[in-house]
C-alpha cells in the first residue's frame, strides 16, 4: 500500500518536543529536525523527542548544519564538516530518525570530478563511523540549488550508487539549477536504478537567478506542486515530502489537501 507522509522542516512550536505534538494535531505525519545553525540538542532530549514521535506515529528526519564543505581547500574545515554531520547522525539515532540530510560541498577552484572524489571519500569514511558506532541512520546528501554547490541531480545519484548512501531530492533546488524548468517524471526515472523503497524529499516554491536558488517561497507559484502529486500517485511511490517554505506547516497542509482532492486517503 502506498504511503505518503507530509510535514514541516523545523518545529511549529517553541521546541522540537512541542512541535511533534502540534504536527500530530494538525493531521501531518513528519518533522525534519533542523540542526542547520548547529547541533545544540543533547542525546537525552533527542531520546525524549524520539519516544514522543514514536508514540504519536510521527516520522523524524534530521538536517545537518549548513556550515559544511567536504571539498574545502582547508583540511581543518573538512574535518569540522565531517564532525558536524556525524554529530547530526548521533542525535538522529537517538531521535529515531532514518535520514540525515546535508549539503555536501562547494566546487571552489576544484573540478567537478575532483570535488566528487572528495565528497565520496568523506561519505565512505562517515559511513564507516556510523557503522562502528551502531547508529541506525542513513546519510542523505541533498540536491542543491546553487551552481557553485556540489549536488546536481546526476552527481547526487552517482554518489548514492557508488557509496550506498541514500539521497534527498529537493525539487525546488532542481528547478532553480535548471533555471525554471522541471520534469518530475524524468527525475523519478533517473532515481529508478537506486531501487529506493522510500523517497525522502523537500518541496517549496522558489525564487531563482542565473546562479541558482535565491530564496524559498510559499506554495502559490513555481515549481507547480500538482504535477508532482499526480506523478507520485501514478507511480505509487512511498514518499516523505518536507516543506521548506516560509510557512512550512501551512504549506504541508496545502499539499495534503491537494493529494486528498486527487483521491489519496491519508491513514
Q: For residue 138, what is the domain's CATH number?
A: 3.20.20.150
The interaxial angle of helices 75-95 and 43-56, nearest 10 deg, is 40
Task: Write out pLDDT tens, residues 117-154.
Answer: 999 999 999 999 999 999 999 999 999 999 999 999 99
pLDDT in tens, 203-225: 999 999 999 999 999 999 899 99
Q: Does the pLDDT at position 264 exceed 90?
A: yes
| 11/114 Cα distance (integer angstroms) | 37
CA distance 98 to 105: 22
Number of domains composing the chain: 1
**What is residue 267's predicted lDDT score, i.e. its pLDDT?**
83
Give the span between the Cα atoms of 131 and 114, in whole angstroms: 26
Cβ–Cβ < 8 Å for 34, 63 = yes
Q: Is the residue at 62 inside a domain?
A: yes
pLDDT at 96: 98
Asked whether residue 97 carries a pLDDT value surpassing 90, the answer given is: yes
Residue 230 lies in a domain: yes
Cβ proximity of 172 and 204 under 8 Å:
yes
Residue 231 placed within a domain: yes
Rounded CA gap, 167 and 139, in Å? 7
Summarised one tens digit per residue, pLDDT across range 158-189 is 999 999 999 999 999 999 999 999 999 999 99
Alpha helix ranges (H) inside 96-247: 112-133, 153-163, 171-177, 184-191, 226-235
What does the mean pLDDT of the chain come to? 97
Any idea which residue has 540530510 for its cell? 101
d(CA 163, CA 74): 24
- Res 215: pLDDT: 94
Q: Give SS3 for 114.
A: helix
The pairing of strands 149-150 and 30-34 is unpaired
Contacts of 6 (CB under 8 A, 6+ apart): 28, 29, 30, 240, 241, 243, 252, 255, 256, 259
- Half-sphere exposure for 20 (CA within 13 Å, toward CB): 22
The residue whose grid cell reads 511549529 is 12
CA distances from 97 to 89, 94, 112, 216, 217 (A): 9, 8, 31, 24, 26
Q: Confirm whether 267 is domain-assigned.
A: no
* pLDDT exceeds cutoff 90 at 197: yes
Q: pLDDT: is 96 or 221 the higher one? A: 96
Q: How confident is the model at residue 244 (pLDDT cuts 50, 70, 90)?
A: very high
Q: Helix, strand or coil for residue 6?
A: strand
Give the pLDDT confidence of 49-83 residue by residue, as tens digits.
999 999 999 999 999 999 999 999 999 999 999 99
Residue 266 lies in a domain: no
**133-to-45, 90, 93, 96, 128 alpha-carbon distances in Å:** 19, 9, 10, 15, 9
Is residue 98 in some structural domain?
A: yes
Under 8 Å CB-to-CB from 204, ≥6 apart: which residues?
A: 172, 216, 217, 218, 219, 243, 244, 245, 251
pLDDT of residue 213: 94
Residue 169 lies in a domain: yes
Could you tell me the residue range of the domain that residue 64 belongs to?
Answer: 4-261
Query: In the structure grid, which three cell numbers stand for residue 71, read together?
Result: 571539498
Is 174 among the domain residues?
A: yes
Identify whether 223 is preceded by a cis peptide bond (ω within 30 of 0). yes
Amino acid at each position: 500500500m502506498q504511503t505518503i507522509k507530509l510535514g514541516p522542516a523545523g518545529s511549529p512550536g517553541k521546541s522540537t518536543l512541542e512541535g511533534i505534538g502540534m504536527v500530530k494535531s494538525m493531521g501531518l505525519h513528519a518533522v525534519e529536525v533542523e540542526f542547520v545553525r548547529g547541533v545544540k540538542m543533547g542525546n537525552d532530549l533527542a531520546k525524549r523527542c524520539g519516544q514522543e514521535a514514536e508514540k504519536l506515529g510521527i516520522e523524524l528526519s534530521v538536517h545537518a548544519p549548513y556550515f559544511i564543505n567536504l571539498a574545502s581547500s582547508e583540511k581543518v574545515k573538512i574535518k569540522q564538516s565531517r564532525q558536524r554531520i556525524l554529530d547530526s547522525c548521533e542525535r538522529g539515532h537517538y531521535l529515531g530518525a532514518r535520514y540525515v540530510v546535508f549539503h555536501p560541498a562547494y566546487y571552489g577552484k576544484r573540478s567537478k570530478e575532483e570535488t566528487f572524489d572528495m565528497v565520496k571519500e568523506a561519505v565512505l569514511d562517515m559511513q564507516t563511523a556510523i557503522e562502528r558506532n551502531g547508529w541506525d541512520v542513513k546519510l542523505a546528501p541533498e540536491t542543491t540549488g546553487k551552481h557553485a554547490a556540489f549536488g546536481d541531480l546526476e552527481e547526487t545519484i552517482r554518489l548514492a550508487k557508488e557509496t550506498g548512501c541514500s539521497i534527498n531530492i529537493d525539487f525546488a533546488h532542481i528547478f532553480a539549477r535548471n533555471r525554471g524548468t522541471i520534469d518530475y517524471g524524468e527525475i523519478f526515472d533517473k532515481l529508478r536504478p537506486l531501487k529506493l523503497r522510500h523517497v525522502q524529499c523537500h518541496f517549496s516554491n522558489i525564487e531563482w537567478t542565473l546562479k541558482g536558488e535565491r530564496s524559498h517561497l510559499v506554495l502559490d507559484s513555481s515549481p507547480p506542486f500538482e504535477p508532482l502529486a499526480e506523478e507520485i500517485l501514478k507511480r505509487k511511490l512511498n514518499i516523505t515530502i518536507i516543506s521548506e517554505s516560509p510557512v512550512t506547516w501551512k504549506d504541508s497542509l496545502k499539499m495534503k489537501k491537494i493529494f486528498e482532492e486527487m483521491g489519496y486517503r491519508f491513514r
